[in-house]
């Protein structure tokens, strides 16, 4: 306690009062997270710190425009080609982005080869200093324009440090398995869980579930290819399905890379679907048990917990008024660049909104627009994140978390910030548990 007070009193030169969260581990031991020191401090039993702790601190954020320009010139990492707007499934979650940006999927355009070749050339010319680069095919359902995929892969596969990936609903996988395998294309299949769950949501226009077709496609791929080149992306619509989804992937694909998302009703009053607290706690306990026993962790659990734990691990310690480089978005166009069928450029596939356009296939990336977006992010960081206790842990993308109907919305940002802080508290609590398990050393 004395140490805690001393450690906080040392920090005297800041302007704002800030209070870190008090949280408990699974044994009801209380901790305080100190935003200014980054320390996770056990609170001795019987002491109530609720009204005691106020740290005087304020984070500052900056970006370096020259460095941004340099990265845009020579260190771009990936592009995502909207290969087609067509889709052969009628999926509940289909392209919210497209609907909002006014494109919808009614026009059903394919990207033409010339647009794709131009985009790839522009990317390769501006990624000469990047270690590993990726060209991704996205849709709609990209395999419906497989001719374009073949052309791009055959044209550029000899380039050094370049990989290809396709995000697919898997229904045509069996038709293209040989090409995909021969050319070592990474495949991300949208699979929501066991047949009963998957087929509720992902059905053909004739209302036939797509699970069986996906399995035929997966069976057409070699085991060794699947081990290293296959990943899954699940979208959970009903929280009741969460545990079945966990069991399905842990039993059948426990080593494949995996992402789980939740249906987001972006612009409807319906709430975002999340796992129930009970399921979250159950999975947390399974995860802790596996770490304790040194078991191999299924990718479902790694995805759920380790990204958050890494945020805690990488938090800033002993913050001392230095300006922090932009934390709350990537550099648009560097980590990703989404290119629509029409050749318009956006920061990523989740942000294809008219006001976030950052160039096109003819002119390339408009650097001033990218700098404008970053200036916007930094201004919001210095308005909101500077006095938020999670300021140096949180990795929320402000461009994304503040979108409502494609436009910036402060209320939406604040709602999402509350959710993010709550999830960081969950990870702090798990982190404290793991520290105990591993005595200062995480797996
Ligand atoms: S969501 Fe934000 S941080 Fe993520 S890729 Fe898109 S622009 Fe970058
Ligand atoms: S929760 Fe919101 S205000 Fe806090 S650091 Fe994250 S983005 Fe910034």
Dist. CA 70–CA 228, nearest whole Å: 33
Query: Does residue 243 line the site of ligand 2, with CB under 6 A?
Result: no
Alpha carbon of 427 to ligand 2 centroid (Å)? 15
pLDDT band for position 102 (cuts 50, 70, 90)? very low
Instruction: Reply yes or no on whether the pLDDT at 231 is more than 90.
Output: yes
Alpha carbon of 379 to ligand 2 centroid (Å)? 13
Lowest mean pLDDT among 156-165, 220-229, 251-260: 251-260
Instruction: Reply yes or no on whether the pLDDT at 14 is more than 50.
Output: no
Query: Does residue 394 line the site of ligand 2, with CB under 6 A?
Result: yes
Give tens-digit pLDDT for 415-427: 999 999 999 999 9
Give tens-digit pLDDT for 295-330: 999 999 999 899 999 999 999 888 887 888 888 999
Tokens of 386: 């500077």
Instruction: Reply yes or no on whether the pLDDT at 205 is more than 90.
Output: no
Cis peptide before 140 (omega within 30 of 0): yes
Dist. CA 40–CA 49, nearest whole Å: 14
Instruction: Reply yes or no on whether the pLDDT at 1 is more than 60.
Output: no
| Residue burial 288-321, b: 16+ Cβ < 10 Å; e: rest | beebeeeeebbbbbebbbbebbebbeebbeebee
Atom of ligand 1 nearest to the CA of 347: 7
Query: Does residue 186 line the site of ligand 2, with CB under 6 A?
Result: no
What are the sequence ranges of the domains in the chain? 2-58, 67-443
Instruction: Reply yes or no on whether the pLDDT at 106 is more than 50.
Output: yes
Alpha carbon of 336 to ligand 1 centroid (Å)? 8
Query: Does residue 402 line the site of ligand 2, with CB under 6 A?
Result: no
Give tens-digit pLDDT for 326-338: 889 999 999 999 9
- pLDDT for 232: 95
Alpha carbon of 376 to ligand 2 centroid (Å)? 14
Is CATH 3.20.20.70 correct for 67-443? yes
Atom of ligand 2 nearest to the CA of 401: 7
Give tens-digit pLDDT for 371-418: 999 999 999 999 999 999 999 999 999 999 999 989 999 999 999 999
Secondary structure E strands in 115-200:
133-138, 162-168, 186-190
- pLDDT for 440: 47
- pLDDT for 360: 96
| Closest residue to atom 8 of ligand 2, CA basis | 385
Secondary structure E strands in 214-262:
230-236, 257-262
- pLDDT for 52: 61
- pLDDT for 322: 81
Alpha carbon of 428 to ligand 2 centroid (Å)? 16
For residues 259 and 115, which has the higher predicted lDDT (pLDDT)? 115
């Amino acid at each position: 306690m004395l140490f805690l007070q001393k450690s906080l009193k040392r920090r005297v030169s800041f302007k704002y009062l800030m209070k870190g969260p008090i949280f408990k581990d699974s044994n009801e031991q209380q901790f305080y997270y100190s935003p200014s020191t980054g320390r996770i401090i056990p609170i001795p039993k019987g002491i109530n710190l609720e009204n005691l702790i106020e740290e005087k601190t304020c984070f500052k954020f900056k970006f370096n425009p020259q460095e941004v320009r340099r990265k845009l010139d020579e260190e771009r990492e990936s592009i995502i080609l909207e290969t087609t707007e067509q889709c052969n499934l009628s999926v509940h979650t289909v392209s919210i982005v497209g609907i909002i940006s006014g494109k919808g999927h009614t026009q059903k355009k394919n990207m033409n080869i010339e647009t794709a070749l131009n985009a790839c050339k522009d990317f390769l010319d501006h990624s000469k200093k990047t270690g590993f680069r990726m060209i991704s095919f996205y849709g709609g359902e990209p395999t419906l324009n497989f001719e374009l995929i073949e052309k791009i892969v055959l044209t550029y596969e000899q380039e050094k440090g370049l990989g290809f990936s396709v995000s697919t609903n898997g229904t045509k996988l069996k038709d293209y398995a040989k090409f995909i395998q021969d050319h070592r294309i990474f495949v991300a299949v949208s699979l929501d869980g066991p047949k009963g769950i998957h087929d509720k949501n992902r059905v053909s226009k004739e209302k036939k579930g797509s699970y069986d077709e996906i399995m035929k496609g997966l069976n057409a791929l070699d085991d060794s290819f699947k081990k290293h080149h296959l990943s899954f992306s699940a979208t959970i619509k009903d929280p009741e399905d969460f545990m079945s989804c966990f069991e399905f992937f842990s039993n059948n694909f426990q080593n494949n890379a995996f992402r789980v998302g939740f249906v987001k009703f972006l612009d409807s009053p319906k709430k975002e679907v999340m796992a129930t607290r009970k399921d979250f706690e159950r999975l947390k306990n399974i995860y802790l048990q596996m770490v304790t026993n040194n078991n191999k962790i299924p990718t479902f659990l790694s995805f759920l917990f380790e990204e958050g734990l890494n945020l805690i691990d990488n938090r800033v310690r002993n913050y001392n008024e230095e300006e922090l480089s932009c934390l709350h978005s990537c550099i648009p166009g560097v980590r990703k660049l989404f290119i629509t069928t029409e050749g318009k450029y956006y920061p990523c596939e989740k942000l294809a909104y008219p006001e976030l356009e950052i160039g096109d296939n003819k002119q390339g990336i408009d650097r001033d627009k990218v700098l404008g977006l970053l200036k916007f992010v930094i201004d919001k960081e210095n308005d909101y994140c500077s006095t938020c206790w999670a300021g140096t842990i949180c990795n929320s993308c402000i461009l994304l978390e503040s979108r409502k109907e494609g436009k910036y919305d402060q209320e939406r940002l604040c709602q999402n910030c509350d959710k993010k802080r709550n999830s960081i508290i969950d990870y702090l609590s798990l982190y404290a548990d793991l520290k105990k398990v591993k005595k200062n050393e995480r797996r």
